[in-house]
Amino acid sequence: MASQYEIIDLIGRENFLKLARKKSGQRIYIHARLTEQSELVQLLGWEMAKVISAELGGEVVHISRDEVIRQRNWLITALRVGGYSIGELSQRFGLRERTVRMITQNVSDDEREFLSQLFEKAQKSRNGDAVVKNQIDIFEKEKL
């Protein structure tokens, strides 16, 4: 069985996250022959699906939820440091308030400072609010 890290090496982290958002927690069979209707083609586009198929065709890959959850938790932490309340985050991400507290409680001072500066830069930029809103919207749609 091929690992998700092999896929990340082949197609990059962003493309892997596209796949993981739809297939996390599942095993997927990588077809050696692709068609326009192939699931990988639909999710990643022809070129990325071709790269995976050429290397891993005929294998089964387990797509772990770890990477997607890590990204979600990072976003929750960044938004909390940026001033969002536990209640707002709980509602936006479909989590219990207790879960949001657990995610955000173990942030080091260095991480808090980094995230605070990052959030300030995003808000100062012309499209910063749109970037933050876009990330929230992605997770709201998929309720990871």
State whether 72 and 138 are in the same domain. Answer: yes
State whether 74 and 138 are in the same domain. Answer: yes
State whether 95 and 108 are in the same domain. Answer: yes
User: pTM, whole model, 2 decimals?
Assistant: 0.60
pLDDT digits (tens, 9 = 90+) for 98-143: 999 999 988 888 887 877 777 777 666 655 556 565 655 555 555 4
Contact 68, 39 (CB under 8 A): no
- Give the chain's domain count: 2
State whether 51 and 85 are in the same domain. Answer: no
State whether 81 and 128 are in the same domain. Answer: yes
Determine the structural domain holding residue 44 and report its residue range: 4-64
State whether 131 and 72 are in the same domain. Answer: yes
**Contacts of residue 18, Cβ cutoff 8 Å, sequence gap at least 6:** 43, 44
Residue whose C-alpha is closest to residue 131's, from 91, 75, 70: 75
State whether 48 and 107 are in the same domain. Answer: no
